Structure 1
């Protein structure tokens, strides 16, 4: 699956770049109401974990309803006080689990649906949306340095 290959490539590049990122920049909160780069990566972990539920359950449940409050997840995971090394490794592991799940999807399961909010989406749409969401937040984390990433 091309999306799985793309996610794997993105993950490898992002992990290397995160390990090289200045720790002060990674942890800096410019505004108490906004996430730091570290919390954005934490949010990507949360998003990945919730989407794993969607990707798995959509294959055997009819229209599973899976939602989460992203701000509460980031808050209660307390990513700002968690080790940067652990956050980067957890990010890597969650993304690689998603790659593995996507590579094992049957064609028939890609058209199954899942309820997100009040909308019904196919698994294939959720896969593409997941990649777009990930890229959006990676752009936030790396801003000026984003030219290093070829998506």
Structure 2
């Protein structure tokens, strides 16, 4: 069950982040929306409504979650760049995913949203100086401070984490 839940392992926040690692993460953020679109845009409703693991979200919920989560992340980057060590607003991702507006909603809308958010985020990240990437925000869960370099890594991992949930399901079911 742990491998189904964390197909690429749990995220481990590195203490020292090289420019090469940062570039690798930004590249993941750049290509992931197209990869996700390629994998999901032709899925049937039955496939989209299939959970990636027992008691897990279905494919449709994962796609909508990625769009919501990465939208929030983009906002956190902007806050950290424009305010002094802001306290971010967390959200209940399970509650968001269960809201009725997403039930049966085509994944196309969240794929488009994700493409736009990632385009804007990657464009922003490629313009930032090391000093700007060192800016921080506070996550109230545990009262932890994160810098923007760490947040890039977190969201590159998050992208691949959920992408692999779907990819593993596709492989298991023999879809495509």
Measured against the shorter chain, the TM-score band is: 0.7 to 0.9
Deviations 1:107-137 (A, max 9, x none): 2111111111211011100110111011111
- Bigger shift: residues 5-14 or 40-49: 5-14
Question: For residue 77 of structure 2, what is the aligned residue in structure 1?
Answer: 55
Unaligned runs of 5+ residues in structure 2 are 1-21, 172-176
Give the whole-Å Cα distance in 1 for the aligned partners of 2:169 and 2:52.
Answer: 16
Q: Show the 5 A alignment for 1:1-151.
A: 2=23, 3-29=25-51, 34-66=56-88, 67-76=90-99, 78-116=101-139, 117=141, 118-145=143-170
CA-based RMSD: 2.3
Deviations 1:75-131 (A, max 9, x none): 236322212222222222222222122122222111111111211011100110111
TM-score (norm 1): 0.83
SS of the equivalent of 2:103 reads helix
Give the whole-Å Cα distance in 2 for the aligned partners of 1:31 and 1:112.
Answer: 37
Aligned length: 146
Pair 136,31 (structure 1): closer, same or farther in 2 beyond 3 Å: closer
SS of the equivalent of 1:114 reads strand
Point out the structure with max Rg over C-alpha. Answer: 2
Shift of 1:8: 1.3
1:42 and 1:74 in contact (8 A); partners too: yes
Deviations 1:50-76 (A, max 9, x none): 101111110121111111111122223
TM-score (norm 2): 0.73
